[in-house]
């Protein structure tokens, strides 16, 4: 059985997922959807497939089995519903929806139409993070006491996100929320979030942040500190550390080359410049897992239920940052 895909969104992630899918057996890319023809036609030519200006046209013309949605995040909701109502399986980049109301409707649509949905939390397919989870679950450091999750993007030359109040928790910190729930589970927690726009006035004007902190206290589990920033002048920096009763697990910031340059009192070890290189293998693994889930009729991971809970944490962070007080999630 082959899976026929349409790629929705012709940006950087649409290209990454499209090229990865093109390499897989039992996959056929039958269309690219993008509202602006220039980018859409460019990617469709690279993938050797059809271009459509909207998803409705693609569905009625080529009848896909599945879609990969990499559109701007405020369009995820409508594309997911359109696909689900037509019995089409969905791989969607994070976030699933931008608030709990959208996510609740998505969950209902996915379950009502019995389609599969997977969300692109690619860190959950990264070898380093997988080994950290295995060490934690294997009891190698004992009961977890404290976790530090760090995510820092290089300063963009343009605003790559759609700013709205506290959007950083939906489009960036949400990766850390997903990692936290994957590592420690979803249960009652108390959360305090804060942020500032130190560098980008556009974020400040929209009520968004370029740098933020989230402190989480599980009722019966570890303390978690999440540190995210869009202002990393030194490159892309993704790290994690878990302190347990008997030791520590650390996911270091990986670099493209295992080369150190020593000069005077300086040591140079440059990190990856951006996410598509750092998580190259994880992007490949996650779409391969999705294809296998569709072919074998197995449950996807991370699925719509997991993403719904991640969204609840993101909503709590937005609310906490807005009111300046801790918020309970349960």
Q: Which residue has the tokens 């130190």?
A: 198
Percent helix, strand and coil across the chain, each to the nearest 5: 40, 25, 30
Q: And the tokens for 310?
A: 């991640």
pLDDT of residue 200: 86
Find the helix or strand (DSSP H, E) in which 222 lies: none
Q: And the tokens for 174?
A: 């949400």
State the average pLDDT for the chain: 92
Plot region of 235 (φ>0 → left; ψ -120 to 50 → alpha; else → beta): left
For 157-163, what is the mean pLDDT? 61
Reported as a pLDDT band with limits 50, 70 and 90, residue 156 is low
What is the per-residue pLDDT across 48-73, written as a single tens digit (0 to 9) for each? 999 999 999 999 999 999 999 999 99
pLDDT of residue 182: 99
Q: And the tokens for 119?
A: 């969300």
For 29-53, what is the mean pLDDT? 98
Percentage of the chain modeled with pLDDT above 70: 91
For 101-106, what is the mean pLDDT? 98
Residue 110's closest CA among 84, 79, 73, 82? 84
DSSP string, 156-219: PSS--S---TTTHHHHTTHHHHHHHHHHH-S--EEEEEEEE-SS-HHHHHHT--SEEEEEEEET
Fold (topology level) of 124-279+310-329: Dihydrodipicolinate Reductase; domain 2 (3.30.360)
Q: What is the pTM of this model?
A: 0.93
What is the per-residue pLDDT across 289-312, written as a single tens digit (0 to 9) for each? 999 999 999 999 999 999 999 999
What is the per-residue pLDDT across 252-283, written as a single tens digit (0 to 9) for each? 886 655 444 444 455 445 555 556 778 999 99
Q: Is the confidence at residue 97, as pLDDT, over 80?
A: yes
Q: Which residue has the tokens 């993101």?
A: 314
Domain range annotation of the chain: 3-123+282-303, 124-279+310-329
pLDDT of residue 261: 45
* CB crowding 82-109: b at 16 or more within 10 Å, else e: bbbebebbbbbbbbbbbeeebbeebbeb
Domain 3-123+282-303 coded CATH 3.40.50.720: yes
């Amino acid at each position: 059985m082959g899976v026929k895909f349409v790629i929705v969104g012709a940006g950087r992630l649409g290209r990454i997922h499209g090229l990865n899918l093109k390499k897989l057996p039992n996959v056929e890319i039958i269309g690219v959807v993008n509202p602006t023809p220039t980018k859409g036609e460019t990617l469709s030519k690279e993938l050797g497939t059809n271009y459509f200006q909207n998803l409705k046209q693609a569905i009625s013309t080529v009848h896909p089995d599945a879609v990969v949605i990499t559109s701007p995040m405020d369009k995820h909701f409508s594309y997911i519903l359109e696909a689900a109502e037509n019995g089409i399986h969905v791989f969607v980049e994070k976030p699933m929806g931008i608030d709990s109301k959208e996510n609740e409707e998505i969950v209902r649509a996915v379950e009502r139409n019995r389609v599969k949905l997977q969300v692109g939390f690619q860190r959950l397919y990264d070898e380093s993070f997988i080994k950290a989870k295995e060490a934690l679950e294997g009891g190698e450091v004992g009961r977890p006491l404290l976790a530090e999750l760090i995510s820092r993007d290089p300063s963009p030359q343009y605003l790559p996100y759609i700013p709205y109040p506290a959007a950083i928790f939906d489009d960036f910190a949400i990766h850390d929320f997903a990692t936290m729930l994957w590592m420690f589970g979803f249960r009652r927690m108390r959360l305090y979030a804060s942020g500032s726009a130190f560098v980008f006035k556009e974020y400040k004007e929209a009520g968004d942040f370029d740098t933020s902190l989230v402190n989480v206290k599980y009722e019966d589990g570890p303390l978690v500190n999440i540190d995210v920033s869009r202002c990393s002048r030194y490159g892309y920096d993704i790290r994690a550390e878990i302190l347990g009763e008997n030791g520590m697990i650390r996911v270091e910031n990986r670099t493209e080359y295992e080369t150190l340059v020593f000069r005077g009192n300086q040591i140079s070890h440059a990190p990856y410049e951006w996410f598509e290189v750092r998580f190259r293998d994880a992007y490949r693994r996650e779409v391969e897992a999705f294809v296998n889930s569709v072919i074998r009729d197995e449950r996807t991971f991370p699925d719509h239920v997991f993403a719904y809970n991640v969204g609840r944490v993101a909503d709590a962070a937005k609310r906490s940052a807005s009111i300046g007080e801790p918020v309970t999630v349960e």
